[in-house]
Amino acid sequence: MHLSAYFVFILFCSTSRVTALDDNLASHRSSAFPRHFYLRRSSSSSASRNVPPEGYYNPLSSGGSMLTQVDGTYPPGQGEPLNIIISGNSDAAVLVDQSINGGLLNYFQSIGFSGECLGQHAGTAQRADLGDGNGFFNETAEKRWNYGDPQLGTCKETVQGGDHFRYWIQSGSAGNSGAIFMATSYEFPLSMGHDIVPNGYNLGRDWLIGNITKSPIPTLNLTNSSTFSGTTSANSYTYHNNIQYVSGLLQNSSMGVNHNASVPINGLNAIDGLVAVIEVTITGQPQGSKSSAVCSIERPFYGLAFLMAITLLSLLS
């Protein structure tokens, strides 16, 4: 990103206070800024969870789907694959949708992903049915590759493209595993409409896993017996990750998959039918405070700051 673009964001942040990351940012956003809103579905408590050995309930077993619902696709009715699951057998603290105490948002930061540029979600929410009794419901949030900068890097991803995911929590009364289902893909720059790059669903999944292992994942050679492990850290929390690729949840197919005319490569399908299941254990934590602070634009100016920043970034990139 150009230096002048960084100056824009530093200028915005210079008038803001440093606050703990809001665990429900959507509830504070100005209603005067017209856009699509979605409510964050709360994480389930560990006391109420009932986790099967696999670490999740198979959505297909209860009428759910491993493809999301996406508005405005051509042809209509296309979806995107839920190709990563954070197991409900992970440490309970990791499954709580918060940034403090080593929670999910801090874990996401440990693998290189942060909240959207200036806290704004400019697109339409996708929906997923995890077979937990909640039916189709909106994504909890969308996270973007932060290019090594947890505060401003997702603004660069928004303009230049990169890895990103949407996530949902399996917490309904018919299947409360607490597992996190993620629809991961690698997208083109904003100037190309954020379309998915060739093989972008499989690559988006595997580049995220590669962030954990610190080594390339052999996408074209993966099977349902492929396993990996790695350690990540953020804000003095350390996480050990065991990864197992599994089949039987997604089909090896292009049918019903969004962008299925452009994503398949070399005669292969848009998705390979594999899901990466991650079991996360906290192996280190700080001795003192567990709070996490970020640069936060004063909330009444979120919408204006977002529009100005994206416009300038588009011109400067």
Helical H segments across 15-144, by residue range: 104-110
Question: Rounded to whole angstroms, what are the CA distances from 41 to 10, 147, 179, 182, 236?
Answer: 32, 27, 13, 14, 27
pLDDT digits (tens, 9 = 90+) for 285-296: 999 744 443 443
Which among 87, 270, 58, 80 is positioned nearest to 164, based on CA atoms? 80
Angle between helices 302-316 and 3-14 (to 10 degrees): 170
Is residue 34 scored above 50 in pLDDT? Answer: no
DSSP 8-class letter at 237: E
Query: pTM higher than 0.85 for the full model?
Result: no
pLDDT value of position 24:
36
User: Is 41 in a helix, a strand, or coil?
Assistant: coil
What is the phi/psi pair of residue 243, to 5°? Answer: -120, 130
Give the Cβ contact number of residue 260 at 10 Å.
19
**DSSP string computed for 298-313:** -GGGHHHHHHHHHHHH
Residue 144, beta-bridge partner list: 114, 164
**Spatial distance between the Cα atoms of 238 and 74, rounded to a whole number of angstroms:** 43
pLDDT digits (tens, 9 = 90+) for 221-242: 999 999 999 999 999 999 999 9
pLDDT digits (tens, 9 = 90+) for 271-284: 999 999 999 999 99
pLDDT value of position 205:
99
**Spatial distance between the Cα atoms of 263 and 267, rounded to a whole number of angstroms:** 11
